[in-house]
Amino acid sequence: AQTVTQSQPEMSVQEAETVTLSCTYDTSENNYYLFWYKQPPSRQMILVIRQEAYKQQNATENRFSVNFQKAAKSFSLKISDSQLGDTAMYFCAFMSWDYGQNFVFGPGTRLSVLP
């Protein structure tokens, strides 16, 4: 079974600074997707970024980028130029390409952006 670990329960960053959230996962599969979701205080889950495991190039979405290390089974999220609106819980998620295509979520990292 797949597992997703986020080792940082809480983090904080100053506005305009850069912060990196860690995520590691365990799987024996070769084809899969990885995602970062954001859950602000409103509790709406919002997709931030996704990465296909077969792609070597790291995904980027504006101020959000990932560092995907397939051999190390690591998938960290970098937020550049942090904004107050980035304050949220961030969840890393794994989706198998084949079997069931169900999602496995990590426990989350609570990020606070400080003014």
Distance between CA 41 and CA 44 in Å, rounded?
8
**Backbone phi, then psi, for 29, in 5-degree steps?**
-85, 160
Per-residue contact flags (x/-) with other proteins for residues 7 to 36, judged by CB under 8 A = --x-----------------------x-x-
CB of residue 15 vs other proteins: minimum separation in angstroms?
Answer: 26
Of residues 86 through 105, those in contact with other proteins by CB under 8 A are 91, 93, 95, 97, 101-103, 105
Distance between CA 53 and CA 56 in Å, rounded?
7
Of residues 27 through 86, those in contact with other proteins by CB under 8 A are 33, 35, 37, 42-47, 50
Interface residue with other proteins, options 4, 19, 53, 66 (CB under 8 A): 4
Spell out where 1-115 has E strands.
3-5, 10-14, 19-21, 24-26, 32-39, 46-52, 60-61, 64-69, 74-79, 88-96, 103-105, 109-114
Residue 69 vs 97, nearer CB to other proteins: 97
Interface residue with other proteins, options 25, 76, 86, 106 (CB under 8 A): 106
In DSSP terms, 75 is beta-bridged to 68
> Residue 39: how many CA atoms within 13 Å on its side-chain side?
13
What residues line the site for other proteins (CB under 8 A)? 4, 9, 33, 35, 37, 42-47, 50, 91, 93, 95, 97, 101-103, 105-108
